[in-house]
Structure 1
Amino acid sequence: MSEMFEGQTIIITGGASGIGAALAYRLHQSGAEVAIADRDQKALRATAERIGCLGVQCDVTREGDIRGCIGEVTKAFGPVDMFVSNAGLFAGQPGHPASASDDVWMRNWMVHVMAHVYAARAILPSMLERGSGRLVQITSAAGLLNQIGDAAYSATKHAAVSFAESLAIAHGDAGLDVSVVCPQYVATPLLGFDESGVLEGKGLLTADQVAQAIIEGVEAGRFLILPHPEVALHAQRRAADHDRWIDGMRRLHAQAVEELGTDRLSQLYLLD
């Protein structure tokens, strides 16, 4: 690991578990002043104590919480150099793509999109004034492709990727570095895995493997970080012939229905 993170002030939302916790540990080990933010107070306290970093309770769907978190961290460590929007949810859908309730759709929208907007709205002015800063937005391969069995997840992850592009386009020449991370399947509590729950040969990565990929991507100055390199090929095929890609996804959907049933389509990552 390079020395680029040493002395940096970094906030990671959804930092009490999964990718956020793994990334916090690695960045703390590199000499950064790390603060993890999470709404789960018990898990937040335990993870912060284990890592030795600051823990701030924060519900990312509340703009005031995000502003309060940034204020608390700034008071403790100084101006924030990097903000990692990592909080996420995965609910699935009970039937057809429009079958999830309005509440599920809105929770996806608030966590996967507006939380990123709130963070940028709060942190951009100071970063642009200093002429430096970094936003890392952890989305999903579903933001480039599609997650069968969860239309709300896919739609909001697409929106999150687009928002990251807007930030990079608007402010990349003003000292703002933006990275968007699109992992595929990661063995985290979000998908029902504990630390020992990796299924070999299923395309799953550990949270630590993803954290390492994020760090390497940020160090290299990449906008698009793909912990699963094969996602790039899938995205290229989609762009080259969208109709053919849809046909392939239909076949994958049919396979998922046959092997999992309609009520477990969002568990498609378990298929060979």
Structure 2
Amino acid sequence: MDLIDKVVVVTGGGSGIGAAMAVTATEAGARHVVVADRDGDAAASVADAIGGTATTIDVRDEEAIVELVRSTESAHGGIDLFCSNAGFVTQAGVEESDEVLQAMWDVHVMSHIHAARAVLPSMIDRGEGYLLNTASAAGLLTQIGSLGYTITKHAAVALAEWLSITHHHQGIRVSVLCPQAVRTNITANSPDVRVSNAAADDPLGVPLADGVVEADAVARLCVEAIAAERFWVLPHPEVADYVKQKSDDIDRWLAGMRRYQARLYGDRPLPGDRLVSGS
């Protein structure tokens, strides 16, 4: 799909990858871009810069997603591309609270399901539509130090795979974005990150050896992937090699990840070290 004369919705569009995607979609010829974010002022700033519209939304709220789709279709016609993009990260293992794990599930998985439920019917009626779901390389590999991020991003990738298989014959195309380190404000948006337990130069456990990619470069790659109808969007192409290594020899890959974890944390306690027998 090319984006010329298309209607695009971007959630988490007030900053980072979402904001870059809104700008890049406009530059690619989109007829209208709706920028949605829980930070309404940030969404409005991006929308004003590109001549789009803004809305304040919590992606965990299914009714709000339904209203976003309804109002967009009413004002601008059918949505051609829905970019479901929001996330946060914590540093914790199985000791993480159910409340935080549920919040991560709602943001990283249920938000994509809410979006698909709301937008697929009209896309299927028209015989075409595109879903771009933001996951993470953690969804293909794992996230050192963060149980919640790892399992919910794995689920996000699995969901995208299922949507791609199930709705392809109806004209629906799906891409899943799986970056490593991207220069965004995810740390600021993750108030319960326990950075004291991770390496000072890599507080989120994101592999930095492959470089930090700028958000606008990620957005351009997304547009290229959408044009080619390519499922994986990998801003760090090395991730494809890591996935192959993982599938070729899982035990060797796990051993390598343990070594990486040891280098990352050094003498700092690991999340699992906080577990005490009998507590």
Tell me, yes or no, whether TM beats 0.5. Answer: yes
The alignment status of 1:87 with 2:83, answered yes or no, reads no
CA distance in 2: counterparts of 1:122 and 1:17, whole angstroms = 24
Q: Hey, what does 2:200 align to over in structure 1? A: none
Instruction: List aligned pairs for 1:181-260, cutoff 5 A.
Output: 181-192=177-188, 203-258=211-266
Equivalent of 2:269, from 251, 258, 262?
Answer: 262
Counterpart contact for 2:88–2:187, Cα < 8 Å: no
Aligned-partner SS, 1:115 = helix
Q: Hey, what does 2:125 align to over in structure 1? A: 129
CA distance in 2: counterparts of 1:4 and 1:144, whole angstroms = 27
Q: Hey, what does 2:52 align to over in structure 1? A: 53
Alpha-carbon deviation of 1:191?
3.6
Letter in 2 for 1:102: D
Per the alignment, do residues 98 and 201 of structure 1 end up closer, same or farther by CA in structure 2, a change over 3 Å counting?
closer
Q: Hey, what does 1:11 align to over in structure 2? A: 9
Aligned-partner SS, 2:67 = helix
Q: Hey, what does 1:177 align to over in structure 2? A: 173
Q: Hey, what does 2:204 align to over in structure 1? A: none
Residues 169-205 of structure 1: per-residue CA shift (max 9 Å, x gap):
1111220011111011101001459xxxxxx976100
Per the alignment, do residues 175 and 189 of structure 1 end up closer, same or farther by CA in structure 2, a change over 3 Å counting?
same
The alignment status of 1:70 with 2:69, answered yes or no, reads yes
Structure 2 unaligned runs (5+)?
Answer: 190-207, 273-279
Percentage identity across aligned positions? 43
CA distance in 2: counterparts of 1:109 and 1:201, whole angstroms = 28
Per the alignment, do residues 201 and 247 of structure 1 end up closer, same or farther by CA in structure 2, a change over 3 Å counting?
closer
CA distance in 2: counterparts of 1:192 and 1:205, whole angstroms = 18
Q: Hey, what does 1:43 align to over in structure 2? A: 42
CA distance in 2: counterparts of 1:37 and 1:204, whole angstroms = 25
Per the alignment, do residues 237 and 263 of structure 1 end up closer, same or farther by CA in structure 2, a change over 3 Å counting?
closer
CA distance in 2: counterparts of 1:208 and 1:42, whole angstroms = 20
Equivalent of 2:27, from 26, 29, 34?
Answer: 29
Question: Cα RMSD (Å) of the superposition?
Answer: 1.9
Aligned-partner SS, 1:190 = coil
Equivalent of 1:167, from 155, 159, 163?
Answer: 163
Per the alignment, do residues 51 and 262 of structure 1 end up closer, same or farther by CA in structure 2, a change over 3 Å counting?
farther
Aligned-partner SS, 1:262 = coil
Q: Hey, what does 1:270 align to over in structure 2? A: none
CA distance in 1: counterparts of 2:179 and 2:255, whole angstroms = 23
Aligned-partner SS, 1:129 = helix
Counterpart contact for 2:2–2:226, Cα < 8 Å: no
CA distance in 2: counterparts of 1:191 and 1:183, whole angstroms = 16
Q: Hey, what does 1:196 align to over in structure 2? A: none
Alpha-carbon deviation of 1:14?
0.1
Alpha-carbon deviation of 1:101?
1.2
Alpha-carbon deviation of 1:50?
2.3
Structure 1 unaligned runs (5+)?
Answer: 194-199, 266-272
CA distance in 2: counterparts of 1:256 and 1:201, whole angstroms = 11
User: How many residues were matched structurally?
Assistant: 253
Letter in 1 for 2:72: V
CA distance in 2: counterparts of 1:67 and 1:168, whole angstroms = 21
Aligned-partner SS, 2:186 = helix
Counterpart contact for 2:135–2:153, Cα < 8 Å: yes
Please give the TM-score of this superposition, normalised by the length of structure 2: 0.86
CA distance in 2: counterparts of 1:59 and 1:26, whole angstroms = 23
CA distance in 2: counterparts of 1:264 and 1:20, whole angstroms = 30
CA distance in 2: counterparts of 1:188 and 1:126, whole angstroms = 32
Residues 24-48 of structure 1: per-residue CA shift (max 9 Å, x gap):
0011122211001111122122222
Letter in 2 for 1:56: T
CA distance in 1: counterparts of 2:269 and 2:45, whole angstroms = 37
Equivalent of 1:151, from 147, 150, 156?
Answer: 147
